Structure 1
Amino acid sequence: MKKQTVMLLVVLISMSNFLLSCGNNMNKHTGMFEFDSIQVNETVHLFSDTAKPACNLIVNFTYISQSSDSLIKDSLNKYFIATSLGNNYKDLTPKEAVKQYTDSYIREYREDLEPAFLQDQKDTRKEDGTDIDAWYSYYKYVSSHIQFYEGNLLIYRCRYEEYTGGAQGIYKTNYLNLNLKTMAPIHLDDLFVSNYKEALTDLLWNQLMADNRVTTHQELEEMGYCSTGNLEPTENFYISKEGLTFHYNVYEITPYIMGAVDITIPYDMMQHLLNDEAYIIKEIRG
């Protein structure tokens, strides 16, 4: 009898540990997502003539392919599509969205540029024989991926590059922080106390000065910072275990030659500004 009781106790403990382990795994990755990606690499010439200029579209779109909850999967994929491809495509499936985005890019390239190319080719060569093909060679790159996925937080990152003729192209990176408990994007107002912007702006200036080893705003401005826009908190940020990183794309606060700027503020520096609802930060900090 005693032996049977001991064996039963061992079985119960083992089952408890197993269930606890499953529960921890569920909590660690809300939604139990599996991810996949859709790739496009398509080159199309004006008038379908390989001797004419072309556009090149490259897409690498990451989406949720499997989840423990199909409603969560579909809702998040809408956010992914809107962030990467635009709101016009968010009600489509990932494959439909990428297909229509590709078709639209190619159609607009041809419709917009074919008439202008014929006229420019005629006028320019009549004047001086200049080759204008480079003006009509377009390029677009869209690549998204999961930057962070743990607990109730998922961070989605999308990189864009585009060239539409001229001296240089343009590029940018956008971040989307998603609260998997509320199924909604996380905004600065969700993390900070009211009237936080002025104090947070001061922290951004201070951190930027520290990053560049200067002590005044004027020194930063002489380097080129804030020559194209004011330094203020941006919604284009991402959450990490160490702090919040604010990402400023080209031309937002710096000229093209300086590139994009990241400013990371550690949590210890802004603890007094975080509100009581910023539980998502407490979770990932452990």
Structure 2
Amino acid sequence: MKNFFAISTIFFLSFISCNKEKNSVESTSQLPEKTVSTPEKFAIDSVKVDDSLKIDNNLTIAFKSKLLVFSQIKDSILLDSIYAKENIHSTNYSKANLTKELEAKKAAFYTETKNGLKDYKPDFKQTWNNNSDMNVFSNQNDLLTIKYSGDGFTGGAHGYYYEFYKVFDLKNNKTLYLSDILSEQDPKIWSRILMDNFLKNDLGKGQAEMLLVKEIQLNENFYFGKDHLYFLYNQYEITAYAAGPVLIKVPFSAIKPLLKSEFKTRLGL
């Protein structure tokens, strides 16, 4: 009988222990995994102005613009470079101040357009506009690429459109230029590289038929991905207006000897 109680007691304690272990596992599985301390998420806000003004029965002028707001970027030189493409120069790039800047740009557009209409009135209804936009194109490895774009129409045969890209090194608080990426910028070497890749990229597009230049030169309107370096040429830069923007992608594998070692290390090339 004593042996029976002893065995029963051991079995009972083992059962309780197993249940506790099981409950502990189940409870733990319902909790989130322990997180490793990571940097604060890169927050981005924006400000917008979207307005229009009727000048007369046939003409309306409209202004639409968006700016990104980077509250976590504190370096003044870097901020100056970010907003320079939008022709905004300030000592304070807060949301409130950027809104004021956009309102000032709208007022300037309205005034300039109205002053230019003193001796001209459209014969039919139309809208003249000025649009601009700012978007994050990519943000990886502390390399932030911003796409600036815009379009508009103020009479004439056609409107206009543009795209521009800038890359910012958030780790070192600087704007990246070709001089930070390329160890060799010889125009003879690069005109051949760009022309060859332009023709390869153009298959079926017909942009080559509207080429206005014999040689394609490097420009600072670039960005990059994992495998390619991209150059963007806007209308009239190397082709006729009807061709639209021209994007030339150059494989890193083809230009590795022309890249700076620091850049290759940063991208893991």
Match of 2:156 in 1: 166
Match of 2:233 in 1: 248
Task: Give every structure 1 segment of 4 or more consecutive aligned residues whose post-TM-superposition deviation is greater than 6 Å.
Answer: none
Match of 2:80 in 1: 78
Contact 1:243 1:265 in 2 (8 A): yes
Structure 1: tracts of 5 or more residues without a match: 1-16, 122-130
The verdict on how the C-alpha distance between 1:197 and 1:152 changes in structure 2, with shifts beyond 3 A counting, is farther
Match of 1:272 among 243, 254, 257: 257
Q: Deviations over 1:88-129 (max 9, x none)?
A: x4445322221211222122222332x223xxx5xxxxxxxx
Contact 2:78 2:175 in 1 (8 A): no
Equivalent AA in structure 1 for residue 65 of structure 2: V
The verdict on how the C-alpha distance between 1:37 and 1:256 changes in structure 2, with shifts beyond 3 A counting, is same
Q: Deviations over 1:184-228 (max 9, x none)?
A: 2111111111444332222111212222359xxxx986x222x15
Deviation at 1:246, TM superposition (A): 0.3
Following the alignment from structure 1 to structure 2, what is the Cα–Cα distance between the partners of residues 220 and 261?
8
Contact 1:79 1:90 in 2 (8 A): no
Q: Is residue 132 from structure 1 mapped to residue 123 from structure 2 by the alignment?
A: yes
Following the alignment from structure 2 to structure 1, what is the Cα–Cα distance between the partners of residues 158 and 207?
25
Match of 1:205 in 2: 195
Q: Is residue 116 from structure 1 mapped to residue 119 from structure 2 by the alignment?
A: yes
Q: Deviations over 1:20-41 (max 9, x none)?
A: x33xx43xxxx84311111222
Q: Is residue 94 from structure 1 mapped to residue 77 from structure 2 by the alignment?
A: no
Following the alignment from structure 2 to structure 1, what is the Cα–Cα distance between the partners of residues 162 and 214?
16
Higher-helix-fraction structure: 1
Contact 2:232 2:247 in 1 (8 A): yes
SS at match of 1:277: helix
Contact 1:228 1:255 in 2 (8 A): no
Q: Is residue 107 from structure 1 mapped to residue 111 from structure 2 by the alignment?
A: yes
Q: Deviations over 1:147-176 (max 9, x none)?
A: 111222100101110111011101010111
Equivalent residue runs for 1:193-232 within 5 Å: 193-213=183-203, 223-225=209-211, 227=212, 230-232=215-217
SS at match of 1:204: helix
Match of 1:57 in 2: 63
Structure 2: tracts of 5 or more residues without a match: 1-33
SS at match of 1:56: strand
SS at match of 2:260: coil
SS at match of 1:247: strand
Deviation at 1:285, TM superposition (A): 4.2
The verdict on how the C-alpha distance between 1:43 and 1:269 changes in structure 2, with shifts beyond 3 A counting, is same
Deviation at 1:282, TM superposition (A): 3.4
Contact 1:155 1:175 in 2 (8 A): yes
Equivalent AA in structure 2 for residue 82 of structure 1: A
Equivalent AA in structure 2 for residue 81 of structure 1: Y
Normalised to the residue count of structure 1, the TM-score between the two structures is 0.71
Match of 1:128 in 2: none
Following the alignment from structure 2 to structure 1, what is the Cα–Cα distance between the partners of residues 158 and 138?
32
RMSD: 2.7
The verdict on how the C-alpha distance between 1:203 and 1:186 changes in structure 2, with shifts beyond 3 A counting, is same
Following the alignment from structure 1 to structure 2, what is the Cα–Cα distance between the partners of residues 175 and 220?
21
SS at match of 1:116: coil
Following the alignment from structure 1 to structure 2, what is the Cα–Cα distance between the partners of residues 158 and 241?
21
Contact 1:229 1:251 in 2 (8 A): no
Equivalent AA in structure 2 for residue 182 of structure 1: N
Following the alignment from structure 2 to structure 1, what is the Cα–Cα distance between the partners of residues 260 and 266?
14
